[in-house]
Amino acid sequence: MNPSNFLKIKNKIPINVKILAVSKGFNSQEIKTIQSIGQNDFGESKVQEALEKQLILKDLKKIKWHFIGRIQSNKIRKIVQNFQYIHSVDSFEKLQKISYISREEKKNPSIMLQIKLSNDPTKGGFNPELLILKWREIKELKNIILTGLMTINPKGLSSKENFELFKKCRSLADSLELPDCSMGMSGDWKEAIDAGATWLRLGSLIFGDRY
């Protein structure tokens, strides 16, 4: 992992698009290196792994931690306690539970709802029609700041197919008046920018290959 590599990538990304450095699989020292050159948003997908790094890095107060992994219901309290952003809320039941627990914990996490736009069986998320049906109830939930939608494209799509799925995410977010779209990873970030992403989730592009 090479800091100048990160700065090169950053220079290619419009300033209105935020970078989430996905540090899963990388250690606290590597996070520290990236943080020291101005990156403060880090994404993790496993609670236990994240908590270990958070403990080591607790003095770096500027870091904002984002949870981007599949949410297990019994880990929601730990997630609410330790992450300011949650990108991967994939059902109404979990959202309700996050709201309830956030109230108990006196927290107010920023939330993005993961939507399912393809038939990839390995990826969860709200069905878009169901999301619209539930929208009123969702808007009433307290102690959460609903800022946007998140999507993960299946692997192996053409550039055009990636762009078109991302466009669907953007249109749905616009129709719900949500500012954020968390979309685009190391392999499809350009298409995501073109389609209107506000958060790119970049792992290997920044940190190199995971061991």
Ligand X SMILES: *Cc1c(COP(=O)(O)O)cnc(C)c1O
What CA–CA distance (Å, rounded) separates 183 from 138?
21
Among 19, 21, 68, 169, binds ligand X (CB under 6 A): 68
* Site membership for ligand X, residue 204 (CB under 6 A): yes
Is residue 158 within 8 A of residue 164, CB to CB? The reply is no
Among 186, 190, 194, 196, binds ligand X (CB under 6 A): 186
| Choices 10-18, 94-102, 121-129, 179-187; region in contact with ligand X by CB under 6 A | 179-187
* Site membership for ligand X, residue 201 (CB under 6 A): yes
* Site membership for ligand X, residue 22 (CB under 6 A): yes
Contact partners, residue 150, CB within 8 Å, separation at least 6: 68, 87, 88, 112, 113, 114, 115, 169, 181, 182, 183, 199
Backbone angles phi, psi at 167, to 5 degrees: -60, -40
What CA–CA distance (Å, rounded) separates 189 from 208?
16
Least separation, in Å, of the C-beta of 44 and ligand X?
9
* Site membership for ligand X, residue 190 (CB under 6 A): no
Backbone angles phi, psi at 85, to 5 degrees: -125, 140
Name the E strands within 23-84.
Answer: 41-44, 64-67
Among 1, 13, 24, 75, binds ligand X (CB under 6 A): 24
With 0-12 / 13-18 / 19 or more C-beta atoms within 10 angstroms meaning exposed / middle / buried, residue 169 is buried
* Site membership for ligand X, residue 185 (CB under 6 A): yes
* Site membership for ligand X, residue 203 (CB under 6 A): yes
* Site membership for ligand X, residue 205 (CB under 6 A): yes
* Site membership for ligand X, residue 147 (CB under 6 A): no
| Choices 30-38, 96-104, 141-149, 199-207; region in contact with ligand X by CB under 6 A | 199-207
Least separation, in Å, of the C-beta of 59 and ligand X?
26
CA distances from 168 to 27, 115, 148 (A): 35, 10, 13
Residues that bind ligand X (CB under 6 A): 22, 24, 45, 68, 152, 185-187, 201-205
